[in-house]
Structure formats: C-alpha cells, structure tokens
Amino acid sequence: MKKVKRRAMSVLAIILCLMIGVSVFTYRFFSQGSQWVNFTANKHIYSNGVLIGGAIYDRDGNPLVHTVDGVRKYSDNESVRCATMHIVGDKKSNIATSLQKVYADELMGYNTINGTYSVSGTGNSVYTTLDADICAAAYEQLKGKKGTICIYNYKTGEVICLVSTPTYDPENPPVISADDDNYDGVYINRALSSRFTPGSVYKLVTAAAAIDNIDDIFEQTFTCHKTEVINGQKIICSGTHYEENFEKSLNNSCNIAFGNISRQLGWNTTAEYAQKLGITTAHELSGIPVVKGSIATSGGDNELSWTGIGQNTDLVNPFAMMRVVGIIANHGMCVEPYLVEKVTNSSGFRTQLPPNKTEKRYLSQSTADTLSDMMRSNVRNKYGESNYPAGMEFCAKTGTAELDGSQVSHSWFVGFSRNEKYPYAFVSFVQNGGSGAKVAGVAVTRVMTAVKEKVDSQSTAN
C-alpha cells in the first residue's frame, strides 16, 4: 500500500512539473515570441544579419527599401539612400531607432497566432509620411556637416523630412575606423536621439512664459549695454542694443533683455514652461523613442538668466524644438508629429490601426498668435524677408549656441511657413556650425523652397 502511495506521489510531482513547464513556455511564447523570431540567426528572416522581408515606402509609394528576387534593395537614388538611412536602417542593423529595427515584427508580418506567415513570403509594407525628394534636398544641404533637418505638417502631423548627418550609402557602406571624426556618431539619429545646447531658439519658450505670466511685458523697456553684472557674474550680449521693447528684444535676440525676463519669471515658471511645451518630455515618433531634454531648475540669478537664454546647462532635442514651433504655428494646438501612415500585408490589407492622430492645446491661441507675430517680425525687421521663399510668410528664430572653450557654436534655425497653403514647421541644426542664420538658416530655407515648389507644382497639376 505504501509503495502505491509513493508511486502516486511521484506521478503527481511529474505532472506538476510538466504543468509549470507548459505555463512558463506559454507565457514566454506570448511575451517574447517576436524576439525569438527576430533573433538575427533566424535564416528565414535574416541573411547575414540583414532583414530580408518587408518593404518601406515614402509618401508617394517610392520604395526606400524592399526585396527584389530575394535581394534587399534600397532606393535607386543615392541621395535618397543617404538621406533616409537613419529612418530606414542600414544592412547591419546598426541604427537602433530605424524602422527596420523598431518595426521588425510588422515588416516580417509576425503575429503570435500565425508566426511569420505571409502569403507571398515577402513580408509586410510600411508606408511612411516621408517625402523622398525633400529628404534628398535636406541631405544635399547637410552633406559634409553634422546635423539634422526635420520638417512636418503642423496641420496633419505628417513628418515629410527627417534627415541626420553624418550618414552613408547603405548600399555601399564605408569602412569606419573608431577615431574617424567624419563619422562621429554616424549610427545616432541626431533629430531623435541627441540633445544639444539650444542657445537663442530657446528664447521662444521663455517668451511664451513671459506673455502668459508677466502682465506688463509689452509695456516694459529693456536697456542693453552689451554686458550686465548679476550677482558678481557677467551676462554678455552679442551686441549693444540700447533701449528696446519685448518684440525688439526678440528681433535682436538680446541676452540682457531675456536674462531680465528670466529673473522676473523665476525658476518655477521657467521649469513649468519647459515641461508644458514638451522640452523635458520623452516623446515618441510612431513608436520610435525620442530622447528628452533637460533644463536647469535651480541656482543663482546669474544661472537663472542664462537658463532662460538657452545656455547654462540647457540641453534640447531637435525634434522637441520642432514640435514647439509647430504648436506656435497651429495657434497653440499640437497635432503630434507621426511617421508611419500604414502597414499593409502582401494582399494590400491594413494590418495595423490607422495612426492615433492626437491634437491637444499647449498654449492659448492668443499667446501662440502673439509669438507667431513676433517670429514674423524677426524675419521682416531683422533677418530680411527677401532671404526667404516669397509667399510662405516665414516666421523664424535663429540660435547660435555658445559652447565651452574654443568649440565653434552650434547653429540653429527654427520656424514655419505661416501661409497655410504650405503648413510646414521645421528645425534645422548644424553641430559646431557657427551662425544660426547663415548656416542652419540658409540650409533649411533651400529645403523649404523645394517644399514650396513641390506644393505649387502639385496644385497646378490638379
């Protein structure tokens, strides 16, 4: 009898172990199944570490990457290949934020029920909002520099251009040595994964806070004699601007005036607006993570002044800065920028829900429109209307961010076309590029001219 009992207990123990094993497997199958399939040694999906299934297209249906007769092929145009390498991904999966990496499941057509089943065995298609021609135009402007140009439609949220340099042709990858400065940070998408000292483009955030929180800001007069001593430390301006009102102080990008404004705002309001306008928020672009910026939140009056000027320890992500000018352009509402329009299977059916287009108010309409007028005034009264595409009603802000030691300043230029026939907001950034207007400004103006020509030619064709 004892023997029978012992045997029964053993059988029960075995059954119990089996049940635990099956449960663990089932849990892992559902939670990690896609990772097993995604494993780069899986020869059904990867060839020498290269994803072989799925295609990525631009907004006009031009292939950015696809598989033809079993061979992975990028765009026929070299400039397009270089321009879109960070978004599409290279052949070795070096770009962590690329669509081939982030959308690997969708491209393979993986789901838990069917595995990597797809009728033709070619995987799925990811349709982006990118315009390959505009991306190529941006790449031509950034070639040989380190930087980024991003443009999105502030009415619809569609990102039409997102280019980061240095880059390379994914069909002909170069041999990159570790100490080659020309390829420094080549696998990083500077628009999404980097943060830089913003300099004067950040004055837009400070100006928004001032309009909302300083009652008599438009009656105040600031006096700039190039330097001012605050708590024994100097605030230095790029020029000597004498007496100026709030609007003129933005035209002049006067550090003395914006230092004064920052001190009137105080640390709490400065931090509140950095948060409110999404500078210190971690955004996502169609599932691709975007790094968040950081703005100093304590210190003396000198540090507070430099913080509102966009210096001190301020670090801002270019994509987040583009979002800020998009909010100003769209009367205080943000239509979240997005990149992936749809994913379809080989039969052309949508496999993913349409993008969740969210629209939310970040600034009151009157604050946004006042800022928009001030940015328009920058162009008309300071930068020179004739330097920008006629008819776009350019609104802009320059930034020449000073860096420690002998480093050349970062060049920034942000803004938008106020003519809603061309509803595009942009950020242009050149690392150690020097003057904001002359480098980043000139580069993005040429790209926006291409955008205008494309919109005009399409409206004529229709």
Give the nearer residue to Zn ion in terms of CB position, either 241 or 410. 241
446 backbone dihedrals φ, ψ, rounded to 5°? -65, -40
Q: Which residues contact 244 (CB under 8 A, 6 or more apart)?
A: 221, 222, 223, 224, 252, 254, 257
- The residues that touch Zn ion, with contacts defined as CB under 5 A, are 224, 237, 241, 254, 256
Give the nearer residue to Zn ion in terms of CB position, either 201 or 340. 201
Smallest distance from Zn ion to CB 282, Å:
34
| Among the listed residues 430, 429, 420, 428, the one whose alpha carbon sits nearest the alpha carbon of residue 452 | 420
Given the DSSP bridges, would you call strands 71-74 and 50-51 parallel, antiparallel or unpaired? unpaired
Smallest distance from Zn ion to CB 204, Å:
17
Question: Taking the CA atoms of the chain, what radius of gyration do you get in angstroms?
Answer: 26
Give the nearer residue to Zn ion in terms of CB position, either 66 or 397. 397
Beta bridge partners of 397: 414
Cβ atoms within 10 Å of 372's Cβ, excluding its own: 21
Smallest distance from Zn ion to CB 295, Å:
22
Give the nearer residue to Zn ion in terms of CB position, either 222 or 426. 222
Give the nearer residue to Zn ion in terms of CB position, either 30 or 242. 242
Give the nearer residue to Zn ion in terms of CB position, either 136 or 256. 256
| Among the listed residues 253, 95, 62, the one whose alpha carbon sits nearest the alpha carbon of residue 187 | 95
Q: Encoding tokens for residue 260? A: 């004064």
Smallest distance from Zn ion to CB 199, Å:
14
Show the 3-state SS of 254-321.
Answer: CHHHHHHHHHHHHHHHHHHHHHHCCCCCCCEECCEECCCCECCCCCCHHHHHHHHHCCCCCEECHHHH
Contact 251, 204 (CB under 8 A): no
Smallest distance from Zn ion to CB 398, Å:
14
If DSSP codes are grouped into helix, strand and coil, which group holds residue 357?
coil
Give the nearer residue to Zn ion in terms of CB position, either 81 or 241. 241
Q: Encoding tokens for residue 71? A: 């061979």
Smallest distance from Zn ion to CB 399, Å:
15
Smallest distance from Zn ion to CB 200, Å:
11
